[in-house]
């Protein structure tokens, strides 16, 4: 088992910067802004041959009873409970604060291995500034600079001490591990994305609060169901550009778009109480452009009456017509209704996106389609579609070879797409058809 290390501290002491340093990534948003991280954020770290898991947490206020800060404190306590070791990050330049004392008091009762990391210590000569942190009663503070990497190796060696034996053999390479499916949950702010993931996990893993914009980063959570491994990605809610005021929220938009691009399957969550908005259509369009498998889920279905349900279904048919291949599931994340059919739709979409289509079958389907309905003439000639093969997965790409294929109309491509979809049951994934015209060797000759 990989040891788990939790990073804990008050807001803006550099926990996310240290997380990025340990995981050699830029997964956590970093800015000179207090309270940026709100959820637990997991990452994989390595020190030589030793592998470990790092948890980044939001600014910890142990005694807070105020809304979002109370929820953030609950997340941090859960991270400490999961951890084998805790790195308590303090700010040398900011000095010792009463909040640091409160956190230290909590950690002393947690019965965990605690290492005190004095961050932002770059350029400081001697240890005069560190003296006051001995008051915390957590041992000698370790001076580090997460931004510059100074002292980080010594810090992680202290955190991992006792978890690895010197003679521990390296794991022998075993059978190939089944691929982890990356599932991103996207949608506008406050539609219930974090609530849905918490319902799947059976715990309050993410901060779910009745305030738009609670989630600011794209948070990844490992999950296993029915023998399949998933990486659940809770994204920040996307709102119209004109409504994005804070620079932090602009970072969140970028992280959300990256999460959609990197995902294998995207769950687009709609709010039954608000209907389908322009922003929902924009997000759906981006998912389609990215070529991701997609499932539509209407949350808060239990909160609307029959008339609203009818109007909502009509709105989806008209405004999201370009996603008519995507399954539509009605759910209530809060009441855990409809989650079984939703999982089946997600798995079916993933299977469709990674479907293997043999060349002989594709060519036979193409020939049958042409026999049933030929493409329109272009001048004196008619496009000749000769054979087809698969050009990629997630999304599936079908490459058709022949002559004069540049004259094949979009309507005829949609007709072919429908034939291929029906045969291979490609529901829940975009399908791309590429036309490649054979080169005529006599074209360049007089």
What would the pLDDT profile of 222-256 be if each residue is shown by its tens digit? 778 888 888 888 776 554 444 444 433 333 455 66
The mean pLDDT value of the chain amounts to 80
Does residue 408 have a pLDDT over 80? yes
At 266 the pLDDT is 92
CB-side exposure of 193: number of CA atoms within 13 Å? 32
Q: What is the mean pLDDT of residues 417-433?
A: 93
Residues 163 and 3: beta-carbon distance below 8 Å: yes
The closest of 362, 345, 341, 364 to 431, measured between CA atoms, is 362
Burial of 6 (0-12, 13-18, 19+ CB in 10 A): buried
Listing from the earlier edge strand, what are the strands of the sheet with 432-437?
384-392, 397-403, 432-437
- With a cut of 70, say whether residue 380 has pLDDT above it: yes
Which tens digits make up the pLDDT trace of 84-100? Answer: 899 999 988 888 888 88
Q: Which fold has domain 4-160?
A: Rossmann fold (3.40.50)
Residue keyed to tokens 């979002």: 68
Give the span between the Cα atoms of 136 and 108, in whole angstroms.
10
* pLDDT at 397 (0 to 100): 93
- Residue 364's pLDDT is what? 95
Domain boundaries, the chain: 4-160, 181-353, 359-437
Task: Check: CB of residue 438 under 8 Å from CB of residue 402.
Answer: yes
CA distance 424 to 100: 59
- Domain 4-160 matches domain 181-353 at the CATH topology level: yes
Residue 165 pLDDT: 64
Helix, strand, coil percentages, rounded to 5, for the chain: 35, 25, 40
Q: How many CB atoms lie within 10 A of CB 98?
A: 8
Average pLDDT of the residues in 204-220: 48
Is the Cβ–Cβ distance between 236 and 249 less than 8 Å? Answer: yes
pLDDT at position 170 is 41
pLDDT tier at 24, thresholds 50, 70, 90:
confident
CATH architecture of 359-437: 2-Layer Sandwich (3.30)
Query: For residues 219 and 239, which has the higher predicted lDDT (pLDDT)?
Result: 219
Question: What's the CATH number of domain 181-353, 3.40.50.300, 3.40.50.170, 3.30.70.1560, 3.30.70.20?
Answer: 3.40.50.300
Ranges 28-42, 348-362, 363-377: which has the least confidence: 28-42
pLDDT at residue number 62: 59
- pLDDT (average), residues 142-154: 88
Minimum mean pLDDT range among 13-27, 86-100, 129-143: 13-27
- Structure confidence at residue 64 as a pLDDT band (50, 70, 90): low
On the question of pLDDT at 307 being above 60, the answer is yes
* pLDDT given at position 217: 47
Question: Strand pairing partners for 433?
Answer: 398
pLDDT at 398 over 70: yes
Beta-carbon count within 10 A of 74 CB? 13
Nearest to 42 by CA among 55, 25, 26, 51: 55
């Amino acid at each position: 088992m990989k040891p788990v290390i939790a990073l804990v501290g008050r807001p803006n002491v550099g926990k996310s910067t240290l997380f990025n340093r340990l995981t050699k990534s830029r997964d956590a948003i970093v800015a000179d802004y207090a309270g940026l991280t709100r959820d637990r954020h997991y990452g994989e770290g390595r020190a030589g041959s030793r592998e470990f898991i790092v948890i980044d947490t939001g600014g910890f206020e142990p005694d807070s009873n105020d809304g979002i800060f109370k929820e953030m404190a609950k997340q941090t306590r859960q991270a400490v409970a999961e951890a084998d070791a805790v790195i308590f990050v303090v700010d040398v330049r900011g000095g010792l604060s009463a909040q640091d004392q409160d956190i230290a008091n909590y950690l002393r009762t947690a019965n965990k291995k605690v290492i005190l990391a004095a961050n932002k210590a770059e350029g400081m000569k001697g240890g005069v500034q560190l003296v006051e942190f001995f008051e915390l009663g957590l041992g000698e503070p370790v001076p580090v600079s997460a931004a510059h990497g100074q002292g980080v190796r010594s810090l992680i060696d202290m955190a991992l001490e006792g978890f690895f034996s010197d003679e521990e053999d390296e794991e022998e390479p075993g059978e190939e591990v089944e691929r982890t499916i990356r599932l991103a949950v996207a949608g506008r702010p406050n539609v219930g994305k974090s609530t849905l993931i918490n319902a799947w996990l059976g715990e309050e893993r993410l901060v779910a609060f009745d305030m738009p914009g609670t989630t600011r980063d794209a948070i990844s959570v490992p999950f296993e169901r029915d023998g399949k491994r998933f990486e659940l990605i809770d994204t920040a809610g996307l709102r119209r550009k004109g409504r994005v005021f804070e620079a932090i929220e602009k970072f969140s938009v970028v992280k959300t778009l990256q999460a959609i691009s990197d995902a294998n399957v995207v769950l687009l969550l709609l709010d039954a109480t608000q209907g389908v908005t322009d922003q929902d259509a924009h997000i759906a369009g981006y998912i389609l452009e990215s070529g991701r498998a997609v499932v539509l889920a209407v949350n808060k279905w239990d909160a609307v009456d029959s008339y609203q349900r009818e109007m909502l279904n009509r709105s989806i048919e008209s405004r999201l017509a370009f996603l008519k291949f995507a399954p539509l599931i009605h759910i209530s994340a809060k009441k855990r209704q409809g989650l079984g059919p939703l999982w089946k739709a997600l798995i079916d979409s993933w299977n469709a996106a990674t479907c293997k289509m043999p060349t002989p079958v594709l060519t036979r389907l193409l020939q049958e389609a042409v026999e049933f309905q030929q493409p329109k003439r272009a001048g004196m000639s008619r496009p000749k579609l000769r054979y087809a093969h698969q050009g990629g997965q997630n999304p599936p790409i079908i490459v058709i070879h022949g002559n004069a294929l540049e004259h094949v109309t979009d309507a005829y491509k949609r007709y072919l797409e429908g034939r291929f979809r029906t045969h291979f049951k490609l529901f829940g994934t975009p399908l791309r058809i590429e036309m490649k015209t054979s080169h005529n060797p006599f074209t360049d000759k007089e």
